[in-house]
Structure 1
Amino acid sequence: MTHARRLTEEGARLWPDLLREAFLKYDDNWLKSQLFSRGLMRASEYRRSRRSIITASRVSIRAAETLAEGEFNRYYMRGLCRYMIETGGTEVEVYRGKNVENPRLGSVAMIERRLLVQDLLNDLRISQGIEPALGLPPGPNSGLTVRRVEP
């Protein structure tokens, strides 16, 4: 599931450039602040209940943070995988890159798991906006990312 649908029309238009600028010059906190300060997040969204009733609800105040951190992390992992491939590395290790108050059991179970870099890179490329097959990242706000494994 992607949180990018919570961007305004202007936010969706600016998103690729903001994301690129965050990677080149700043970080996910800068990206989050841009989403807030420029008013690029929707205030409300429509949801369909199990009984097909459509209701409007407020977008979480954490939506900008979740989007910025999640997408920044996905691209960081893609970049690390590409670097590992170029330098002859074959595996990355999952670790908690950000503390979370109530970690999900599925996230905890992934810590120290090793993944083949080519498999993770392929998964991250094809699973944009959907749950990745390898389970990383394992949903929003998990705090999980990957690091190099030395040969």
Structure 2
Amino acid sequence: ALRYYDDLWLEERDEELQIDFEPRRTRSGGTTTAKVPEMASRMLAEHDFNHYYMLGVARRAIEEGRQVVEVYRARLSLAPRHASAELEGRRIPAGEVISMLRSRPGPDVPMPLLGRQNSGLSVRLV
């Protein structure tokens, strides 16, 4: 998908693998069944495509000796999150972008600034 296609191509293939309902935990500790949003395939495809795209841009920046990439809004958002809006236009070391995208959030690891689901942010060479 990254080399020859785009996120729409990826979404079309991913839709066949999606489920309509999924089990979820309730606050009381039980389980319930919830409908998976219709946009789930699109969001997943955009997120995954952009994740690997940003990794590629950051690696290219390092290989070309640029060392820094710029964060920009790649997808229109009528009400962007405050944290996302603050990142727009910021220049970040390419190595830091790679580290953020490879990190796995958990109890001791905070969610990275880039690579968040549905943020609409990406990076470009400067």
Q: Same fold (TM over 0.5)?
A: yes
Is the Cα–Cα contact under 8 Å of residues 105 and 111 in structure 2 kept in the other structure?
no
Q: Are residues 1:23 and 2:2 paired?
A: yes
Cα-Cα RMSD: 1.9
Is the Cα–Cα contact under 8 Å of residues 81 and 120 in structure 1 kept in the other structure?
yes
Is the Cα–Cα contact under 8 Å of residues 91 and 115 in structure 1 kept in the other structure?
yes
Which aligned segments of 4 or more residues in structure 1 are displaced greater than 4 angstroms?
none
Q: Are residues 1:34 and 2:13 paired?
A: yes
Distance 1:114 1:107, change over 3 A: same
Once residues 35 and 128 of structure 1 are traced to their aligned partners in structure 2, the CA distance between those partners, rounded to angstroms, is 24
Q: Percent identity?
A: 40
The equivalences for 1:53-72 within 5 A come to: 53-72=30-49
Once residues 90 and 45 of structure 1 are traced to their aligned partners in structure 2, the CA distance between those partners, rounded to angstroms, is 42
Cα distance per residue 1:100-143 (max 9 Å; x no partner): 232111211111122110111122123389x8754102x32211
Query: Any stretches of 5+ residues in structure 1 without a counterpart?
Result: 1-21
TM-score (norm 1): 0.75
Once residues 110 and 53 of structure 2 are traced to their aligned partners in structure 1, the CA distance between those partners, rounded to angstroms, is 15
Which amino acid in 1 is paired with 2:120? G
Which amino acid in 2 is paired with 1:24? R
Once residues 117 and 128 of structure 1 are traced to their aligned partners in structure 2, the CA distance between those partners, rounded to angstroms, is 20
Equivalent residue, structure 2, for 1:102: 79
- Aligned residue pairs total 124
Equivalent residue, structure 1, for 2:27: 50
TM-score (norm 2): 0.89
Is the Cα–Cα contact under 8 Å of residues 41 and 64 in structure 1 kept in the other structure?
yes
Query: For 1:76, which of 53, 57, 60 is the aligned residue?
Result: 53
Which amino acid in 2 is paired with 1:105? H
Query: Any stretches of 5+ residues in structure 2 without a counterpart?
Result: none
Is the partner of 2:2 in helix, strand or coil? helix
Once residues 42 and 105 of structure 2 are traced to their aligned partners in structure 1, the CA distance between those partners, rounded to angstroms, is 18
Which amino acid in 2 is paired with 1:25? Y
Once residues 110 and 121 of structure 1 are traced to their aligned partners in structure 2, the CA distance between those partners, rounded to angstroms, is 16
Cα distance per residue 1:73-99 (max 9 Å; x no partner): 010000011101110011111110110
Identify which range, 64-73 or 48-57, moves more after superposition: 48-57
